[in-house]
Amino acid sequence: MKKSILFLFGLGVLLTSCETEGDKPVVDPVTPAPVDNAKFGVNPTNQAELDEIAGLFKYAKAGEISKIKDKLEPNSVADLEKWDAEYAQIKDLTTEAAEGVAGFMQRGSKKMPLNAKGVETAQLIAKGLIGAFQLNGFNKAAMEGIMKATDAKGRREALNKAVTYLLGGLDFSKTGDDYKAMNNSFGKYMVKYPEMKKGIEDAAKSAFANANDKAKYSAAMVELNKWATRVVAFRAVHYLAGYGGKIKEQGGWTADNVHELSEGLGFAYSLAFAYNYAKHTPYFTIDEAREFTDVDLYTERKDTSGQSKLDLSSEKIAKMFGFKVADAL
């Protein structure tokens, strides 16, 4: 499969309405919408679009994929629907999960459904949507601002949409609990990395301030994308390497460890929708992302070679993004 992500944009046609008064054309004056040139996030001119995007987050969880299907990256739909169907089949099982047998694993007072490979399918969906929904929407908006917008207003509106797909709005003051309440997985984990959060915020403000200069605006959007994708890459390695090791320890096959590791598989899948703007390709193909998630955790639990699938995936992701596995633990 070619390393490419399709960004579909409609072609806008600017119409100027004219009347004739004798032989003279009379052009109706157009009053431009006010733009705050001083501060990002103040009085956005496309507030209705931002509200619509923010409203989609309530569906970004297991069982409600159909509500945002048209907003998902097309290559992801089959995977998410497959996991959703699997989750529907196993979520009410009363048998205990075991190797090769789907069922539940007790996690505190709740029963956590696992598939026959020991993976919490709901986490593949929840964290896979970071890429398929959030990064996909971010990338489409970012490319709209870089490639299509012709003026500062258009670039700022594209920036607003891009940031809203990441944060659910234009406010950088939210806490992890705020993002959790919004079902915003990216925001919830972004706040765990202050340097990356600051990088995202600074880049967004720079893109806003330099919207009159296409080259500077584009450079700021590339920087914004760099920090956003780094959050996802760090989190994937944090879980795959950290908890991949924990399940192999004596007494390490616990519900908490399996849950965290399942999250890591979802984060790794999302990296198929993290786009490298410098090379004009995704960091990983959809096939590579599927390979990350095709893991039997019972097999991994027994592997002490240091070259298990989780070990190799962690190394591959860290190498692609230029950091060491230990940096993400």
Each residue of 231-273: pLDDT tens digit? 999 999 999 999 999 999 999 999 999 999 999 999 999 999 9
Average of per-residue pLDDT across 153-157: 97
Instruction: With cut-offs at 50, 70 and 90, classify the pLDDT of residue 37.
Output: low
| CB 103, CB 124: distance < 8 Å | no
Tally of CA atoms within 13 A in the half-sphere of 36 that contains its CB: 11
User: How far apart are the C-alpha atoms of 329 and 314, rounded to whole Å?
Assistant: 11
User: H helices of 168-285, where?
Assistant: 176-181, 185-190, 194-209, 214-246, 255-270
102 has pLDDT over 50: yes
Q: What angle do CA 121, 107, 178 make, to 5 degrees?
A: 75
User: How far apart are the C-alpha atoms of 190 and 166, rounded to whole Å?
Assistant: 9
99 has pLDDT over 60: yes
Closest of 280, 164, 156, 137 to residue 222, by C-alpha: 280
User: How far apart are the C-alpha atoms of 197 and 231, rounded to whole Å?
Assistant: 9
Cα of 3 vs its chain's centroid, Å: 18
Give the number of other Cβ atoms within 10 Å of residue 28's Cβ: 8
Cα of 286 vs its chain's centroid, Å: 14
- Helices 214-246, 309-321: crossing angle, 10 deg rounding: 160
Three-state DSSP at 14 gives coil
| CB 253, CB 114: distance < 8 Å | no
Average of per-residue pLDDT across 147-151: 96
113 has pLDDT over 70: yes
What tokens does 17 get?
């309405």
User: How far apart are the C-alpha atoms of 252 and 99, rounded to whole Å?
Assistant: 15
Query: pLDDT at position 3, please?
Result: 42
What tokens does 269 get?
């899948």
Instruction: With cut-offs at 50, 70 and 90, classify the pLDDT of residue 38.
Output: low
pTM of the model: 0.87
Residue 20's beta-bridge partner residues? 25
| CB 241, CB 179: distance < 8 Å | no
**Amino acid of residue 327:** D
User: How far apart are the C-alpha atoms of 114 and 103, rounded to whole Å?
Assistant: 6
Instruction: With cut-offs at 50, 70 and 90, classify the pLDDT of residue 278.
Output: confident
User: How far apart are the C-alpha atoms of 282 and 328, rounded to whole Å?
Assistant: 21
62 has pLDDT over 80: no
**Amino acid of residue 243:** Y
What tokens does 16 get?
């100027």
